[in-house]
Amino acid sequence: MMEAASKPVKGNAKRREDGSSSKKNKNKGQKVEREDTPSKSTKKGSKVEVDKKDDDKDDSGDEDEDEDEDDDEGDDDDVDVPGVIDVPDADFYDFDKERTRDCFQQEQIWAAYDDDDGMPRFYARILKVVSSSSDEEFKVKMNWLEALRKDKAVCEWLDAGFYQGSGDFKAGKAVTSDALNIFSHVVAWEKSSKGIIRIIPRKDEVWALYREWSSAWDNLTPPEVRHKYEMVVISNDFDEEVGLEVTYLVKVDGFKSVFQRTHEVKWIPRSELLRFSHQVPAKKLLGEEAPNLPDNCWELDPAATSTETR
């Protein structure tokens, strides 16, 4: 396996509106030292030390379980997180309750806020919860996941400077983190016999689609285009032949984080999985939370949505 030179990247964490440092802490200028990262061009102002191992080899997905376990060993790098960007609180649900230190367990995969616009597109597999009690400083040993370069579309996407939100991944070298606020939520995943980790939208999950997505996007695609999103509910589990059916959500006037299901549906074929930006933590509302709340509504985590969400 060839070793590439270290490259800097930056990351994010989030802090909520009242100033407490629990859930929504989005760090611009976060310093994260890690041995592997999603393959993406380095951004200006980067603070993360990265050893990208796989730029010079073909990620064919043939890593076996033994190689995956080898990544768990060796010297750990530290994840250090200074600075935050505030985001508003949700209308009803406290999403912080699902990302406290007590929520972390071995072999979970967590989404973490990225260094682009702070959406949860990074993935980390928890190898060990180092801190064993609430009296100790939070610390976990983990692998950052790297997207597998399995086909031309994925390679072009990564080379253009984008992150892969859904698809196939592999685990990189072990790192340690005491930065609780870089984490967004636990994600569902599958692992093949060859050690490939697959993260694909599942039925009833809420995901963000790139509103103006095109397979022709490249490194010249401006942020005002890339950072526009549409929220959807996944209607079926992934089918290799037909892909995924999604139903659109629209924001409800008078609320900060409430979205209503529409009758508009769309099929996303397997060839367009890159259209999925990231999963959004969401709670189905009962309709009793407020007198003016319409039917078929979800509350979405403001830390995983954008001002450019419709």
Domain final residue pick, 138, 165, 199: 199
Query: Following DSSP, what letter does each residue of 163-222 receive, concatenated?
Result: PPSSEEEEEEEEEEE--GGGEEEEE--EE-TTS-EEE---TT-EEEEETT--TT--TTS-
How many whole angstroms separate alpha carbon 252 and alpha carbon 97? 24
My answer on whether 182 and 247 are in the same domain is: no
My answer on whether 159 and 34 are in the same domain is: yes
Residue 23 parent element (H or E): none
Cβ-contact 53, 1 below 8 angstroms:
yes
The better pLDDT of the pair 132, 293 is held by 293
My answer on whether 210 and 179 are in the same domain is: no
My answer on whether 47 and 126 are in the same domain is: yes
Distances (CA, A) of 95 to 26, 98, 290: 15, 6, 18
Whether 309 is covered by a domain: the verdict is no
Domain final residue pick, 199, 226, 243: 199
Q: What angle do CA 131, 102, 91 make, to 5 degrees?
A: 140
Domain final residue pick, 199, 220, 238: 199
Distances (CA, A) of 215 to 164, 198, 237: 13, 21, 23
pLDDT above 70 covers a percentage of the chain that reads: 72
Cβ-contact 47, 32 below 8 angstroms:
yes
Whether 122 is covered by a domain: the verdict is yes
- For the segment 73-124, what is each residue's pLDDT rounded down to a tens digit? 445 566 544 446 678 899 999 999 999 999 999 999 999 999 999 999 999 9
My answer on whether 154 and 33 are in the same domain is: yes
My answer on whether 107 and 44 are in the same domain is: yes
Whether 190 is covered by a domain: the verdict is yes
Q: What angle do CA 130, 136, 139 make, to 5 degrees?
A: 35
My answer on whether 192 and 46 are in the same domain is: yes
Strand partners, 284: 298
Mark 136-157 as b/e (b = at least 16 C-beta within 10 Å).
eebbbbbbbbbbbbeeeebbbb
Helix (H, G, I), strand (E, B) or coil at 181: helix
Whether 1 is covered by a domain: the verdict is no
**What's the pTM?**
0.78
My answer on whether 19 and 139 are in the same domain is: yes
Whether 153 is covered by a domain: the verdict is yes
Report the candidate in 99, 103, 172 with the shortest Cα–Cα distance to residue 142: 172
Range of the domain at 284: 206-304
- For the segment 121-166, what is each residue's pLDDT rounded down to a tens digit? 999 999 999 986 777 889 999 999 999 998 999 999 999 999 999 9
- For the segment 28-83, what is each residue's pLDDT rounded down to a tens digit? 333 333 334 443 333 333 333 333 334 444 444 444 444 444 454 445 566 544 44
My answer on whether 192 and 216 are in the same domain is: no
**Across all residues in the chain, what is the average pLDDT?**
80
How many whole angstroms separate alpha carbon 305 and alpha carbon 308? 8
How many whole angstroms separate alpha carbon 276 and alpha carbon 298? 19
Whether 310 is covered by a domain: the verdict is no
Whether 53 is covered by a domain: the verdict is yes
My answer on whether 187 and 227 are in the same domain is: no
Total domains, the chain: 2
Give me the pLDDT at residue 136, please: 83
My answer on whether 239 and 91 are in the same domain is: no
User: Is residue 62 exposed (0-12), middle (13-18) or buried (19+ Cβ within 10 Å)?
Assistant: exposed
Helix (H, G, I), strand (E, B) or coil at 32: strand
Give me the pLDDT at residue 78, please: 61
My answer on whether 108 and 142 are in the same domain is: yes
